[in-house]
Amino acid sequence: MHVAIFGTGYVGLVSGTCLAEVGHDVVCVDIDQAKIDGLQRGVIPIYEPGLEPMVKANHAAGRLKFTTDAGAAVASAEIVFIAVGTPPDEDGSADLQYVLAVARTIGRHLRAPAIVVDKSTVPVGTADQVRATIAAELESRGVDIDFDVVSNPEFLKEGAAVEDCMRPDRIVLGSREPASIEKLRRLYAPFNRNHDRIVAMDVRSAELTKYAANAMLATKISFMNEIANIAEKVGADVEQVRRGIGSDPRIGWHFIYPGAGYGGSCFPKDVQALARTAAQHSLEPTLLNAVEAVNDRQKAHLFDLFVRHYGAAGVLRGKTVALWGLAFKPNTDDMREASSRRLLQQLWDAGARVRAFDPEARDEARRIFGEREDLVLCDTDDEALQGADALAVITEWKQFRSPDFEFLKRSLRDAVVFDGRNLYEPAEIEAAGIAYWAIGRGRSIRQDRA
């Protein structure tokens, strides 16, 4: 099938590449000329495991094209995806300016009947707005072309985006037109072979499904972070509690890892946007507000542990902290809303210097922070430890999981580790003579009392 995808970010580029991989003819459209020029030369703008070879192979095979020529892309497509950003507006609601700009472009260039598919995360009712926007453009052109707007929210995770896209656990399609669902069923057939993953529903339910999924996952995380904070106070170990509850299939093992708070481009903005939707309909979003508030507090928690260890924030003045991890999660270079950003700011405000290492996010950190005296971006995890007083771990990259504790003890002047992802066994790291502060683990409070 001939497909056009607007937006070549995490969602658009990955979806376009996966559709090309299974034989569709895909053109990816973006307004960012530099990004498109780079993609045409094989420069992939994001780090996503497995993506680069797939983009190159499909581009070389002629199934995946990149362009800024929106008109030509729309004119030749049977299916047009919208996969542009929906960042938070000032009041927390989703900013639809990019989505509606694409809708106008589609309306201006549509030549033949097509299905417009919204993959961006958008508030309930947006498909109606997209439909009205396209219809208004067609009317002003004086033409009558049949089109439908389908909601097809995306559930991929950064760091596993290609895998999620190639093997989705469900494909949600919202439309009132059986013919549209049927056509998309055929588009997605290669991803839907073993059992039926298509969940067809009405448009508004599909739009709300996306927010419900992200809000549920964020709720699980905030819930566990609250339990962790209680565990810390009562001298329990949240990791043991996690194992104790995860074995109940009604609760499950996923998304119950306590930590330094959730980040990324989606949970923070989507929880806020859903709360905003509720408020716009005179509903008090009590739970969603609490999820957000707990997360906000949790992002500051690792620094609280620094203060507990050193007795006062002022003691950090002149100290050097090694920081392992900058990205909001492993296997990505994305630092949007990353917990590392809050910790860095708190450490800098306290007068500390930071030597940071992240396997992929170094360039992104340089782009965000520029050159600063109190930040050294290192090439290796060992290099970050050089001359450091303490170590903080904030992203659970695999390579941080099994450090040589004896080496850590020799490297860190104050022999202390602050672990925002609970990667180590307290008894083991403490046996090496290192003070260990983790999230919701009773030992840290016992140390505090000692």
Ligand X SMILES: O=C(O)[C@H]1O[C@H](OP(=O)(O)OP(=O)(O)OC[C@H]2O[C@@H](n3ccc(=O)[nH]c3=O)[C@H](O)[C@@H]2O)[C@H](O)[C@@H](O)[C@@H]1O
Ligand Y SMILES: NC(=O)C1=CN([C@@H]2O[C@H](COP(=O)(O)OP(=O)(O)OC[C@H]3O[C@@H](n4cnc5c(N)ncnc54)[C@H](O)[C@@H]3O)[C@@H](O)[C@H]2O)C=CC1
- Here the tokens at position 432 are 């090496």
How many residues make contact with ligand X (CB under 6 A)? 20
Region of 153-161, 231-239, 391-399, 434-442 interacting with ligand Y (CB under 6 A): 153-161
| Residue 162 dihedral angles phi and psi, to the nearest 5° | -65, -45
Of 56, 131, 157, 170, the one binding ligand X (CB under 6 A) is: 157
Binders of ligand X among residues 112 to 151 (CB under 6 A) are 121
How many residues make contact with ligand Y (CB under 6 A)? 26
- Here the tokens at position 309 are 């260890």
Query: Does 256 engage in binding with ligand X (CB under 6 A)?
Result: yes
* CA 349 – CA 231 distance, rounded (Å): 29
The residue of the chain with the least Cβ separation from ligand Y equals 9
Q: Which is nearer to ligand Y, 171 or 378 (CB)?
A: 171
Whether 120 and 83 have beta carbons less than 8 Å apart is answered as yes
b or e along 112-132 (b: 16 or more beta carbons within 10 Å of the residue's beta carbon)? eebbbbbbbbbbbebbebbbe
Query: Does 12 engage in binding with ligand Y (CB under 6 A)?
Result: yes
292 binds, among ligand X, ligand Y, none (CB under 5 to 8 A by kind): none
Is 259 annotated as belonging to a binding site?
Answer: yes
Query: Does 221 engage in binding with ligand X (CB under 6 A)?
Result: yes
Angle subtended at Cα 87 by Cα 33 and Cα 287, rounded to the nearest 5 degrees: 160
Is 30 annotated as belonging to a binding site?
Answer: yes
Using left for φ > 0, alpha for ψ between -120 and 50, and beta otherwise, residue 117 falls in: beta
Of 7, 264, 325, 440, the one binding ligand X (CB under 6 A) is: 264
The minimum distance between CB 205 and ligand X, in angstroms, equals 17
Of 158, 237, 292, 419, the one binding ligand X (CB under 6 A) is: 158
Region of 82-90, 173-181, 276-284, 403-411 interacting with ligand Y (CB under 6 A): 82-90
Q: Which is nearer to ligand X, 266 or 316 (CB)?
A: 266
Is 18 one of the catalytic residues? no
Of 120, 222, 298, 395, the one binding ligand Y (CB under 6 A) is: 120
The minimum distance between CB 261 and ligand X, in angstroms, equals 7
Query: Does 7 engage in binding with ligand Y (CB under 6 A)?
Result: yes
Is 409 annotated as belonging to a binding site?
Answer: no
175 binds, among ligand Y, ligand X, none (CB under 5 to 8 A by kind): none
Query: Does 9 engage in binding with ligand Y (CB under 6 A)?
Result: yes
Binders of ligand Y among residues 249 to 268 (CB under 6 A) are 265-266
Choice among 18, 28, 165, 266 that is catalytic: 266
The minimum distance between CB 211 and ligand X, in angstroms, equals 9
Is 261 annotated as belonging to a binding site?
Answer: no
The minimum distance between CB 416 and ligand X, in angstroms, equals 23
Residues in the chain: 450
Positions at the binding site for NAD(+): 30, 35, 86, 121, 158, 269, 336
**Residues labelled catalytic:** 266
List contacts with ligand X (CB under 6 A). 121, 154-158, 214, 217, 221, 255-257, 259, 262-264, 266-267, 328-329
Residues in the site for ligand Y, rule: CB under 6 A? Answer: 6-12, 29-32, 35, 83-86, 98, 101-102, 120-121, 154, 156, 158, 265-266
